[in-house]
Amino acid sequence: MSEKVHCLIIGSGPAGYTAAIYAARAGMKPVLYQGIQPGGQLTITTEVENYPGYPEGIQGPEMMVDFENQAKKMGTDIRYGLATKVDFTGPVHKVQVDEKDWIEADTVIISTGASAKWLNIESEQRLNGYGVSACAVCDGFFFRGKEVAIVGAGDTACEEAVYLSKLASNVHMIVRKGEDGMRASKVMQDRVKNTPNITIYWDSETDEVLGDTKVEAVRIKNIKTGALQQIPVSAFFVAIGHKPNSDIFKEFIDMDEAGYIKTIPGSSKTNVPGVFAAGDVQDKIYRQAVTAAGSGCMAALDAERYLTEQGLA
């Protein structure tokens, strides 16, 4: 079975839904497939206070329902389904959904996002959204004046530790390797070491996040000695990286070494004409809902211009 559409949007976070709103208003009759996690990472977030237009804050899942309803109201055809294969060899782009049906599209907007890497311990997932977070910039505000922990050893972990130090009373940073094995650049390491309310635990790994209904402490283990230590904290931040959800596009789309899709600066254009990328799948720096939404707008406008230039509008 094959179907032909003007604009196909793959993914349903802030980038995908915003692209859908703009594409629908432009008369492009977009079809959007929601993917494996409809609404994206915000559906596993609790309170969102930093998105414009919600002065009282809003729950992440509720916010994504608002986005979806607005996209539907504008005329987007929103469908359940996961893109499992693509063929971008010709002028008409082909996308397979759920390993069976093929969609042919004049334009494709990739907004599949990125998934946070986790430690894969039971308590981390159980308390996700209740003090466990993979985004210090998103959730650090809720723990002002509290003790918090962060795990990671790269530049992002150091940046987030310094960010948290301005909000939290103390930041406990858990680093798996010794001082000479830290991945972060020297300038970021020095910044962390020179911040008085950041304590670094070298050669340490997370044994368990403690708490029944919210984070109350973290238990860490010294890798060299095996000694356990319990640290009372109100939040536990995981900063060991993100993985862009871009695997199915690798054969056709240019990416960096981490798998983030490369776009032409100042646009959402990829190396394949008519294929655009928006949101966290192409953004390893900001990773915020508002920046994802902005890039979704860019992708829809770029796609509209492409259709006009090709005489397909």
Catalytic residues: 135, 138-139
Collapsed DSSP state (helix, strand, coil) of residue 263: coil
| Residue 46 burial by Cβ neighbours in a 10 Å radius (0-12, 13-18, 19+) | middle
**Residue 227 CB neighbour total at 10 angstroms:** 10
C-alpha to C-alpha distance for 20 and 69, rounded to whole angstroms: 11
Running DSSP on this structure, what letter comes out for residue 52? T
Q: Sign of the CA dihedral 35, 106, 24, 271?
A: positive
* The pair of three-digit structure tokens given for residue 78, joined into one six-digit string: 């929103």
- Which residues are 105's β-sheet partners? 5, 93
C-alpha to C-alpha distance for 214 and 222, rounded to whole angstroms: 24
* Residue found by looking up tokens 């983030």 in the block: 260
Give the chain's length.
313
**Rounded to whole angstroms, what are the CA distances from 66 to 57, 77, 79, 208?**
13, 16, 16, 36
C-alpha to C-alpha distance for 198 and 274, rounded to whole angstroms: 47
* H/E segment holding residue 210: strand 204-210
C-alpha to C-alpha distance for 45 and 63, rounded to whole angstroms: 10
C-alpha to C-alpha distance for 242 and 235, rounded to whole angstroms: 19
Strand 31-33 relative to strand 2-10, pairing: parallel
